[in-house]
Structure 1
Amino acid sequence: MFKTVAESEVTLSVLMLPSHTNFSGKIHGGYVLSLLDQIAFACASKHSGAYCVTASVDTVDFLKPIEVGELVTLKASINFTGNSSMIVGIRVEAENIQTGNVKHCNSSYFTMVAKDDKGNNVDVPGVIIRSDKELQRFHKSIKRIELRKERKAHASTVHLTTGPDDISKKYKVKINLTD
């Protein structure tokens, strides 16, 4: 079974309230992350027809701050499907509802996994690509998967090639090993 990207797209708009702010008066990043997770769940569940869980968040780029009173719109789509996993791409825009000015505030990529009632992974429909933009998103997802695998392989094989003195000259660190 296959579904088009459009069949699973989800859009969510939320007015930003003073209760959503951090100590500097901007919308709290944690609140935005909560919205991102909600829309990723909705998009993945809509595509798979199953309950979905967040497996990983590859990227969360906070590009511009969001102000109180702005209307934030999150747009989510399936960028890639595996056997039981889906990569959901999310774009966040904030609109000043008085001026109509819209700014791109965030881009994120969530890997979601479809589960059955017992918590086992379930197969998800494949994705039908119908535009160059969708094809580009699919290819970028493949690249993200490859880079994640490289990071994991690299992280498990760390070799110190420079001594503590070299590291402390290059980085802002003081190494004081007691063992």
Structure 2
Amino acid sequence: MTKPGKAVCVSQAVVLQRMLPQDANPAGNVHGGVILKCIDTAGSIAAMRHCRTAVVTASFDRMDFLKPAFIGEVVIFKASVNYAGRTSMEIGVRVEAEDLITGEIRHTGSAYLTYVALDQDRHPTPVPELILETAEDCRRNREARARREVRLAEKHRERASQNEATAC
């Protein structure tokens, strides 16, 4: 059963989090694990807005930490659906840090996550088609499809390797 399509802009999520001393790592920056948790939260909001069902994080495909975020800053997590398959979605999350005193905003990281939509019995369920409206939507979708092909090929290679009886 295919659900009606939804535009990328309908499900976008922006989550802001002020980083406090308990969010620090030993170097005094915001701990990467805190950033990852917030990314997953923002990503799940965008995924649930798209499919309007419960979702589960299937994979954290990639995380690029570009610059540190500092204690006292507001970290902004911008999540969008890049690709919608049959029951899964790739969500891209852009992470920015804002210095509240100067107003400077820095791109500090980007991540790609895959979520699977779940029905009431917690089984995978179809998601709406993704309607691409802008050139940016199309670019992100094209890149997400390429990442999906790489993920599937890697999963196939891993399974084949696990099934080889003579492998070390």
- TM-score, normalising length from structure 1? 0.85
Q: Distance in 2 between matches of 1:89 and 1:141?
A: 9
Q: Secondary structure at the match of 1:125?
A: coil
Partner of 1:114: 117
Letter in 2 for 1:111: T
State the shift of 1:118 in Å: 1.0
Partner of 2:164: none
Partner of 2:6: 3
Q: Write the deviation string for residues 130-166 of structure 1: whole angstroms up to 9, x where unpaired.
A: 11110000000110011112222334556xxxxxxxx
Partner of 1:56: 59
Instruction: Give 4+ residue runs of structure 1 displaced > 4 Å after superposition.
Output: none
Alignment equivalent of 1:19, drawn from 19, 22, 41: 22
Letter in 2 for 1:17: L
Letter in 1 for 2:145: I
Q: Secondary structure at the match of 2:114?
A: strand
State the shift of 1:34 in Å: 0.5
Alignment equivalent of 2:102, drawn from 80, 99, 104: 99
RMSD: 1.1
Letter in 2 for 1:87: E
Alignment equivalent of 1:126, drawn from 129, 146, 158: 129
- Are 1:147 and 2:150 counterparts? yes
Gaps of 5+ in 2: 162-168
Q: Distance in 1 between matches of 2:123 and 2:149?
A: 25
Gaps of 5+ in 1: 159-179
1:42-81 alignment runs, 5 A limit: 42-81=45-84
Report the number of matched residues: 158
Between structure 1 and structure 2, the one with the greater Rg is 1
Q: Distance in 1 between matches of 2:83 and 2:159?
A: 27
Q: Secondary structure at the match of 2:109?
A: strand
Q: Secondary structure at the match of 1:120?
A: coil
- TM-score, normalising length from structure 2? 0.91
Letter in 2 for 1:82: G
